[in-house]
Structure 1
Amino acid sequence: MTGRVGSRAAGLALGFVADRLLGDPRRWHPVAGFGTLAGHLEKRTYAAGRAPGVAHVALLVGSTAALGLMAERVTRRSPVAHAAATAAATWAVLGGRSLVREGDVISGQLSSGDLAAARLRLRNLVGRDTTRLDPDGIARACVESVAENTSDAVVAPLLWGGALGVPGLLAYRAVNTLDAMVGHRTPRYREFGWAAARLDDVANWVPARFAAGAALTSAALDGDSVAVSRARDAIRHDAPAHPSPNGGVVEAAFAGVLGVTLGGTNVYEGRAEDRGSLGAGPSPAAYDIGRANRLSRRVGTLSLLGAMALAAARSRGAAAAAGPGGSPGP
């Protein structure tokens, strides 16, 4: 244990700061390596049907969690080593700095009128067709991505890390990456990707609602009761129309706090999808991307505090369970 908060909480904080200061590793990114491995494995495991998809996900997520469990056990007796391992894993799986950086670049391109560059850059964040988006459509897509990815790439890994340590960090990122790779409603992945998509929904259910609550808390700390009321109304009335049980909640919260309208019809590989209407304000503009980024940073900070509190509670619970002279579990 490192003081009252424990080495797990200290490692989460260090990894969070590393992401804020450094962003993603420039080379040899572990998540990219996992994606490459998953792509190679898919060539052997793919078959039309849910059972092969379940096996694909179980093998990759299970082995990743086992790697994290091994790291926990190897470093268990050294608080410094355990904090370092947790920090490295946290830095590897978080994507907050990169998300905000992409938003800043797109905002600048929109402000300078370079729509072609903004449409191209937006592909780093969204899966929808960007070729025909106007400035408002680009800004809306960017704000929606900032909102949803704040939950997926910052809040969720922190909370899973607080609850389960390195295994939670790595396993969550494996689940989320597999969902991005195969969890699509296309003919190829409709059945094979079912397990990845459903597991991602489960893994993000609590984090998405925590993220929404953190967005409301941020507005409340600013004394903006109108924004809090707007966000509550959007979550309650608008989020259920969104096809994602988690993305709609987070996007509705951001829409309400920012005072903009998100959602609408998006095109994915020639297929139109109505995502409902979230919020009651004007369409986002380039300026609102910066506001979304600032909200994202605050939600991330509040989530770190929540994850550290969770880690501290888990550490105290493990120590109490071990008893006098015992050794707490991973």
Structure 2
Amino acid sequence: MDPNNTPDETRAAVNPVAATLDLLGDRLTLALLGHAFVSGTTRFTRWLELTGAPPSVLTDRLNSLAEAGVLERSPQSAGSDRHDYLLTELGNATWPILVCIWGWQREWTPEGAWQPDLVHTACGHRGPATIRCGACGTAVTGADTDIEMDAEAIWTVTSGARRRSSRGPARGAAGADMQFNAVMEAIGDRWSGAITGLALAGTRRFGRFRSALDISPTTLTDRLARLCAVEILERPAGSEREYRLTPRGRALFGVFVFLIRWSMQAFPQVPGPLQVLHRDCGNLLRPELQCRGCDGPVNRESARIESIVPRPHA
């Protein structure tokens, strides 16, 4: 169902960031999109081979992506009851999210060497991109931004949160390039995603996390412990109630700003609970990818993704 074609009262109940985390904060969903971008996969049988997911689970994810307008079904031939699943404009807009996730995992996880490689065809540079402001064209990090939060709306990011069924590796999943295990700790459920987002916005104190999210102390303690265990957050020495982003956590900035950007594209008529402002130019941040080699723009027209295929031992 397209939320922009629903009645006003229904749209008002939609939280764009929550809906985005529900849809894209899923290991198998990211794997499906990843294979679509890297190898042009469009067919159910091929995704089945690549992911090893149970057919019923794969069907559920493809249906969810089609209903969200990320994929569209196209008959494989006239009169056929079999369909290809093609990326839509909204589906193609997830490309920078995948690029940032792969870049983060390449630089910050043990499986980094097997992540798909970003190649900027304009200059030949290989490797993760940086983020720049689309309004003024300058490079930007989390330290250059201010995040404005709707205090009344932010807790709805976690309202009705559901535990995802694919935080860990899927049965029979393909190689490390499509595992997405590490990033799932940050975006794999609404609680973790909201806490990481608040940390990127500058929240540090246990009480501030709790009041912003209307979260129970037990649940908050559990999620903070998980994020510390995977070195996204850390507790400064001598502080029992303060949590800070590690360099690994701060490096998730690109993933989150593109998730927020995508939520605005997916739900253009619904105001979101977060706005990211570029402090230097004063504009709402419109993130763009920038090549580390030549500072040129990186997009699907100027870059390609190459899958890393492990070579068999001699």
| TM-score, normalised via structure 2 length | 0.29
| TM-score, normalised via structure 1 length | 0.28
More strand by share: 2
More helix by share: 1
Query: Relative contact order (alpha carbons < 8 A, sep ≥ 6): 1 or 2 greater?
Result: 2
